[in-house]
Structures are given as structure tokens and as C-alpha cells.
Amino acid sequence: MTARKRGSSNGAARPPPKASDETHKKTEQITANSSELSITPSKLGQILKVSAFFFVPYFYLIFYHYQIDEELKRSILINAVLSFAGFFITLFLIPVATKYLLRRDLYGKDINKKGTPQGSIKVPETLGIVVGIVFLVLAILFQSFNFTSDSNWLVEYNAALVSICFMILLGFVDDVLDVPWRVKLLLPSIAALPLLMAYAGHTTIIIPKPLIQYVGIGVLDLGTVNGDVSGVRERRGATNCYGTVNGDVRGLRCGIDEDYLMNSCCSLPAGFKLRGWIYKLYMGLLAVFCTNSINIHAGLNGLEAGQTAVTASAILIHNVMQIGASSDPEYKQAHAFSIYLVQPLLTTSLALLCYNWYPSSVFVGDTYTYFAGMTMAVVGILGHFSETLLIFFLPQVLNFLLSIPQLSGYYVCPRHRLPRFDPQTGLLTGTDDGTLVNLFLRCFGQLSEKSLCLLLLGFQIQTHNISEAIAVAVSLLHVANAAPSSCETRPLQ
Ligand code: UD1
Ligand code: MG
């Protein structure tokens, strides 16, 4: 939560104390901005250039490289147009909201600039509320372009939106009320309830082939496994996938022979009952992880919005490749569903980044980190690629593992686990707190805040590339080891 002062409402309108050194110019500009309540998206040009590197190949894949159904292409295009409109709306609304947030003393001080004039500026916090609201409006409007009233997707789509909306509300409550850390951890499980209650989709986790001999089953169905094969038969009828039951194995679409699958399921002890609630528990835990892992991999200008933009881009590319490589309508629809939610998430986050990149003139707040995490958890669940999603979250997983000793209370967990800033050099030094940010500083030595953020985002991009490469390597290994007649493989391209 924000280190925020609760004082008289006119406190925010007061200009910060005058500074007198070199960095004064930039400070004055932001100070004036804060007091005059007008900030400008100073990084707009840079963000647009960097975004072009992603969007050009992305649209090339959709419109030229893959043979994607015209109707699906049309829906993706409409969603993209709405999302780009969302970019400009967010860009316009952030300065407007800033004015109101400062009036209510919703601001934070930039800890990594403490001791410099910039460190004493009141930086408006909780701008995630703007991103969240624009996102929800776009996602709700988009339904009229894509779904018919009897669509099965409508229920889950709206349940997903309710969960995201609930998460935005709880994130905002956290930003305003400063909820204790352990309570904070539980908020996403409450927000996920609407989706968990409405969910009636797949409840299977496909066991990767090399592990099947150890686990003893090919598919773990957390919803309908009863020690018999009825659930499998129903599913086989429903999926109509080349006589196989298909799943996503680390980005690899792998059909598993139905007889093998039934035999595998039959090998479960009779009376072994796992109800759908176990899968729902898994979904709830995924939501808790995604939201909190983004929230604790934070504290550098641009890191929260930056990691979301990078991960959202990876998800979009993954979705397009899966759609392009598949001929299963249900599977394609699941990935299209993900695109419909991730495109607006990406563009609105990029708009936020125009203000939040170093040096930040706004902070995103827990409203944003929870909103972004919940949206990605939801698309992972409903797009049926939660395993792949966790691979995309590798830096966050690493940061979470490093954090366990402090989060569990084994070591003292201070309010902020950020590096030490030296106002003389303007560089950050790693502390003993267990975070990826500190680990990088310990490994690479002192760095400026901007360089460190770029390094962490570069690391995230690399982990995405490596994980895609591993997925392809594993898929090739599977092809070599698998019974050729029974396993149809479609590796990522
Ligand atoms: C989580 C982390 C905490 C980290 C904080 C930074 C855990 C258990 N908690 O706490 O260690 O310090 O996020 O967001 O790992 N801030 C900056 N620069 C930025 C962004 C934020 O200085 O670029 C500071 C500002 O003072 C801002 C505050 O962090 O007001 C926001 O912190 P908040 O999101 O409320 O912290 P938590 O999510 O509780
Ligand atoms: Mg936070």
C-alpha cells in the first residue's frame, strides 16, 4: 500500500518544497504538473515505437501467415480496433483522474529517489482504476460484436468480467484502506468466486507423455474422475477431435489415444472420486498466484505495467500460433477468447506505461497489479493454457520463491523490500530482501532504476523465448518417443 498522508484535502494542491540542484528541472516540471494537475504522456513516442515491434509481426501472423477463418479474423480485428480506441481513451483519462486522486490524497512518494527533490514529490497513485474501467467498458461493448444471445461463451465471459471487476474493486479498497499483507493475499480468491461458480468447462490437466509412466495416468480429470471412464467418453463425444482427447502440453497440442486414455483412467482405484471443486481450487490458487506475484515483483518505475505488457504480448503470440496450428473449432475459440481479453489489457497497459515509465509521473497502485494478474489468470483458465501461463510467469515464480522466507514470516518482512538508493550517484544497490530486483543488483552490481527495469523486462522476454524453445524441443522429443499412430503433434511454429 501507498505511503500516503491523510490530511486536509487541500494538501495535495500545495506545491512541494522548492529544490535547488541539477535534477531540479525535471522535478520542477513534475512538481508543477502535480500542482497544476496536468501531466503529459511524455513517453508516448517511445512506447509507440516499441509497440510497433510487437504489433507488426502480430498482425502479420493473423492476417497473412496463418489461414484463420474469416469470421474469427473479423472478431479479432474488431476487438483490436476497440482496444486501440481504449489506448487513446486511457491516455486522455489518466491526467483527468490524477486531479481527483491527488485531491483525495491518494499519492505515494518515489522511494527509489529518496533524498533527491524528485523523491519528495507527491506522485498520484491508483491509476489502475482508469485502466480497469476502460478495459471493462471495452470488454462489455465487445460482446455485441461477437456473441449471440444463446452463446455458451457468454456466461463464462461475463463471469470472467465480474471476477475482474471484483478484483479492481478489492484492489482499490486495498489502495485506499491499506489492507494488512496477509489479508491482501486472500483478496484474489474472493474476487475469483464469480468465475469459479459459473465455470462449467474442462476440468482436465494433461500429463506430459514422459511423465505418464511415473504418474500412471495420461489425463488427470479433476472434475469427473470416478474410477470409471464415463467422463472420458462424454468428453470424447463433445470434443470431436480426430478420435482423440486433446490437450495443451506446454504449448504442444498433443492428442492422446482414446483407448490409452481410458485404460489410464481405469487404472485409478475404484471409488476414487475427485469432484470439480478440486479443479476450482486449482483455479482459485492460480488467481491468487498471478495477482500477488505481479504485485510483489514491483517497486521500480514501469516494472508493474512493463511486465504486464511483456507477458500480455507473449500470451497473444501464443494464442495466435495455437489458433493457426489447430483445426479444432473449440480449441480455437478458447484461444480467441483469450485474445479478446488480452488485446485491451495490452493497449490500456501501454497507455498507462506512457505515464508510468521512468521517471514515473503516476503510480499504478494495487488496483492495477491485481487487475492485470486476475485478467491473465482468467484467460489462462478459460483459454485452457494455464500451464503455459505459468511458464510465462517464470520471473514472477522466481521472485515468489525468493520471497517465501519473508512472506512466511521466517525472516522479517519490511513494508517495502526495495533496493537502497544512493542520492549522490543515483544508483541502486541490492539489499538482503528476497526479491528478484535485489538478486539482479547483487549479481550485476549497482544500476540505475531505468537500467534495472529494462534488464528485468529483458529477462522476462528471454524466459518467454526460452520457454517456447523448450516447448518445441519437448514436443520433438515426444514425437520421437511416442507411438506414431496415436499422437498427433502440432508444435509451436
Ligand atoms: C509490494 C511489495 C513491497 C514493494 C511494493 C512496491 C512485498 C511483500 N511487497 O508491496 O516490497 O516495496 O510492492 O510497489 O513484496 N513505489 C515506488 N516506485 C515505484 C512503484 C512504487 O517508490 O515505481 C512505492 C511508492 O511509495 C508507492 C508504493 O511503492 O506509493 C506502492 O506500494 P504498494 O503497491 O502499496 O506496496 P505493496 O503492494 O503492499
Ligand atoms: Mg503493490
Segment 1-28, tens digit of pLDDT: 444 433 333 333 334 444 344 444 444 4
Position 18 scores a pLDDT of: 41
Output the CA 400–ligand 1 centroid distance in Å.
Answer: 15
What's the Cα-to-Cα distance from 251 to each of 242, 246, 433, 458, 462, rounded to whole Å? Answer: 19, 12, 34, 22, 17
Contact status, residue 488 vs residue 255, Cβ threshold 8 Å: yes
CA-proximal residue: ligand 1, atom 39 (nearest)? 1
Evaluate: CB of 293 within 6 angstroms of ligand 1. Answer: no
Atom of ligand 1 nearest to the CA of 2: 30
Evaluate: CB of 110 within 6 angstroms of ligand 1. Answer: yes
Cell of 65: 501467415
Output the CA 209–ligand 1 centroid distance in Å.
Answer: 42
Output the CA 296–ligand 2 centroid distance in Å.
Answer: 6
User: What are the residue ranges of helices labelled H in 357-414?
Assistant: 365-382, 386-392, 394-407
H/E segment holding residue 279: helix 276-296
Atom of ligand 1 nearest to the CA of 403: 15
Longest CA–CA separation in the chain, Å: 78
Q: What are the pLDDT digits (tens) for 28-69? A: 444 444 445 578 877 899 999 999 999 999 999 999 998 888
Position 222 scores a pLDDT of: 64
Counting residues of the chain whose pLDDT is more than 90, the rounded percentage is 54
Evaluate: CB of 125 within 6 angstroms of ligand 1. Answer: yes
Position 339 scores a pLDDT of: 95
State yes or no: cis peptide before 359, omega within 30 of 0: yes
Taking Cα atoms as reference points, which of 86, 80, 95, 143 lies closest to residue 355? 95
Reply yes or no on whether the pLDDT at 455 is more than 90: yes
Q: What are the pLDDT digits (tens) for 319-334? A: 999 899 888 888 888 8
CA-proximal residue: ligand 1, atom 7 (nearest)? 296
Evaluate: CB of 301 within 6 angstroms of ligand 1. Answer: yes
CA-proximal residue: ligand 1, atom 5 (nearest)? 299
Those residues whose C-beta lies under 8 Å from the C-beta of residue 451, and which sit 6 or more positions away, are none
Output the CA 174–ligand 2 centroid distance in Å.
Answer: 9
Q: What are the pLDDT digits (tens) for 404-415? A: 999 988 999 998
Which of 56-90 are b and which e, b meaning 16 or more Cβ less than 10 Å from the residue's Cβ?
eebeebbeeebebeeebeebbeebbebbeebbebb
Amino acid, res. 219: V
Position 235 scores a pLDDT of: 37
Evaluate: CB of 360 within 6 angstroms of ligand 1. Answer: yes
Mean pLDDT of 458-482: 70
Strand partners, 257: 244
Cell of 382: 478459460
pTM recorded for the entire structure = 0.82
Position 246 scores a pLDDT of: 35
Ion ligand 2: residues, CB < 5 A:
295, 366
Evaluate: CB of 363 within 6 angstroms of ligand 1. Answer: yes
Mean pLDDT of 165-178: 94
Contact status, residue 44 vs residue 91, Cβ threshold 8 Å: yes
